[in-house]
Structure 1
Amino acid sequence: MTYKLRLTALVFVALGVAQPAMAADDPTGTWLTQAGDAKIKVTKCGAELCGTVIWLKQPMDTDTGKPAVDNKNPNRALANRPIIGLQLFEGIRPDGPNKWSGRIYNADDGQSYNSHISVSGPETLKVEGCVGALCGAETWTRAR
């Protein structure tokens, strides 16, 4: 084996060792929304999960030319918060095996919904929001 091939093999081995294995039901990580318009970083915050917007496909408001803000929020005191950095999860706690429940904020309409989150595959996160018996779900994919 040539020096260059050995070095390449060592780099790949090192990368494989350096990246921690994710448990099959671990919701932490960075996720791309189903529409592909935002990345959400999910972390553990004590006993809860935090979900924070860390990237937007369109980070600038086309009307103002300024960074996108939470302008759909009915609370005018919160309507100028930047979307990037916005905390979407509220009280998301374990609710059974591979299931977390709480509330999720939707910046598209300024409303919070009862929510259930589950890992549906090694690269997919099912996010469900409900108002009463009416629910909608989307699948987020693990971002690279």
Structure 2
Amino acid sequence: MKKILFALIFCIISLHAFSQGDDIVGKWQNPSGEGRIEISKEGDNFFGKLYWLKEPNDENGQPKKDSKNPDKEKQSRPIQGLQILQGFVDKGKGSYEDGTIYDPKSGKTYSCKMTLKDQNKLDIRGYVGVSLLGRTETWTRVKE
């Protein structure tokens, strides 16, 4: 009986530990409410796509373009649907690092780390060089 109980507890703990890395997977909204990002896992890395914009179209009714991108070939692509988070690695304890975040408003890409504060709050810190030289904003989980 003790062996069965031990095996059951081990399985529960293992499943919980295995699933923790995927806790950021889902849909998140930035603090301004202008955009929503869907975070997914591909292999061992996490990525995020800008799947919704409060104002997806420009003043002419056309989809907003990535016009600030320094790569001229990418300036005609729509902002909605853009992958803005790339290459994050689960470092454990709700920390995801070694990734980048792209800001379509400026056309700049920053080093980034994400920290899951709880199931519904995700701190995003974009920075240049070292994490001290950056800015943090808190995204909230979208409940659908």
Length-normalised TM-score, structure 1: 0.79
2:137 matched residue in structure 1: 138
> Is 1:34 equivalent to 2:16 in the alignment?
no
Aligned to 1:65, which of 44, 50, 61? 61
Aligned-pair distance for 1:96?
A: 3.7
Task: Call closer, same or farther: CA 1:55–1:139 in 2, change over 3 Å.
Answer: same
The CA distance in 2 between the partners of 1:77 and 1:123, in whole Å, is 36
2:15 matched residue in structure 1: none
Aligned letter for 1:137? T
Q: How many residues align?
A: 122
Matches within 5 A, 1:1-144: 26-62=23-59, 64-101=60-97, 102-133=99-130, 134-144=133-143
Aligned letter for 2:86? E
Length-normalised TM-score, structure 2: 0.79
Gaps of 5+ in 2: 1-18
Pick the structure with more helix per residue: 2
Aligned-pair distance for 1:23?
A: 5.2
CA deviations 1:5-37 (Å, max 9, x no partner) are xxxxxxxxxxxxxxxxx8597111100111100
RMSD: 1.7
Aligned-pair distance for 1:135?
A: 0.8
| Mapped contact 1:25–1:119 kept (Cα < 8 A) | no
